[in-house]
C-alpha cells in the first residue's frame, strides 16, 4: 500500500474543488498508449465532468499524496430509463438490462498516476467508492486496447458483457462493457480509509 496516500470520498464539493487537478491527471493518463486519444478529448472530458455535477447521485473518491492528486474514481447512478443496454453489440437477457432506481452504478472515470500504480491505490479507490454506493451492482466501459486494465477488472470481480460504439463525442470509437453483478461483498469488506 502506498505510504502517505490519503483517500477522500464525497460528491461535487470534492470534485468541484479539484476539477483542474482531475482534468490534468485524466489528460496525463489517457493521452498515453494504449488509449485512443482525440485532439479535442481534453475539452470534451472537462465538459463531461462538469455535466455530472448536476447529478445528485454523483460520487467520487480521490487519492492524494500531500496536496498532489494521484488517483480518482467517480461515477453516478444509471437512470432507470437508460438506453445504454440496447446499444450493445450483444443482446443481453432482460433480467440483465432491466433498470430501476438504485440498481446500477456507472463507474465513469477511474485512473491512477503511472508512478503510483501497482501499490494498491487503485484497489483502495475502487473498493472505497463502490462500498459506499447504495446501488446493487455496477457497470463501466473500457477501451479494448487497455488489456492490462481489463485483467485487473476481471481480477476484481467484473465480467465483460459486450461492446458498444462510442458515438461522436466519446473518448474512443468502441468500448468493452463490463458488469459487476453485486457490490455486497465490497460493502461487507473492511476497506481501509
Ligand X SMILES: CC(C)(COP(=O)(O)OP(=O)(O)OC[C@H]1O[C@@H](n2cnc3c(N)ncnc32)[C@H](O)[C@@H]1OP(=O)(O)O)[C@@H](O)C(=O)NCCC(=O)NCCS
Is the backbone of residue 120 left (phi > 0), alpha (psi -120 to 50) or beta? Answer: left
Which one, 78 or 146, has the nearer CB to ligand X?
146
Q: Exactly one of 111, 138, 171, 177 binds ligand X (CB under 6 A); which one?
A: 111
Which CB sits closer to ligand X, 38 or 123?
123
Any contact of residue 106 with ligand X (CB under 6 A)? no
Q: Does the protein bind ligand X through residue 36 (CB under 6 A)?
A: no
Cell of 129: 467508492
Between CA 99 and CA 9 the distance in angstroms is 26
Q: Does 119 bind ligand X (CB under 6 A)?
A: yes
Query: How large is the C-alpha radius of gyration of the chain?
Result: 16
- Torsions phi, psi of 84, nearest 5? -60, -35
Query: Please, which residue, 58 or 175, has the CB nearer to ligand X?
Result: 175
Beta bridge partners of 65: 5, 68
Pairing of strands 137-142, 68-77: unpaired
Answer yes or no whether residue 75 interacts with ligand X by CB under 6 A: no
Residue 160 interacts with ligand X (CB under 6 A)? no
Residue 48 binds to ligand X (criterion: CB under 6 A): no
The residues of the shown chain that bind ligand X, judged by CB under 6 A, are: 29, 110-112, 117-123, 140, 142, 146, 149, 151-152, 155
Amino acid at each position: 500500500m502506498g505510504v502517505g496516500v490519503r483517500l477522500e470520498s464525497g460528491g461535487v464539493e470534492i470534485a468541484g474543488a479539484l476539477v483542474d487537478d482531475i482534468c490534468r491527471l485524466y489528460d496525463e493518463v489517457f493521452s498515453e498508449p494504449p488509449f485512443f486519444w482525440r485532439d479535442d478529448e481534453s475539452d470534451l472530458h472537462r465538459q463531461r465532468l462538469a455535466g455530472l455535477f448536476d447529478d445528485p447521485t454523483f460520487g467520487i473518491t480521490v487519492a492524494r499524496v500531500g496536496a498532489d492528486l494521484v488517483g480518482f474514481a467517480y461515477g453516478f447512478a444509471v437512470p432507470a430509463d437508460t438506453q445504454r443496454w440496447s446499444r450493445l453489440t450483444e443482446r443481453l437477457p432482460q433480467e440483465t438490462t432491466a433498470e430501476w432506481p438504485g440498481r446500477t452504478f456507472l463507474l465513469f472515470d477511474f485512473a491512477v498516476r503511472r508512478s503510483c500504480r501497482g501499490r494498491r491505490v487503485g484497489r483502495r479507490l475502487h473498493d472505497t467508492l463502490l462500498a459506499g454506493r447504495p446501488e446493487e451492482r455496477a457497470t463501466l466501459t473500457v477501451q479494448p486496447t487497455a488489456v492490462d486494465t481489463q485483467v485487473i477488472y476481471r481480477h476484481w470481480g467484473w465480467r465483460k458483457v459486450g461492446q458498444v460504439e462510442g458515438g461522436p463525442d466519446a473518448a474512443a470509437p468502441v468500448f468493452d462493457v463490463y458488469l459487476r453483478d453485486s457490490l455486497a461483498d465490497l460493502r461487507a469488506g473492511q476497506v481501509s480509509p
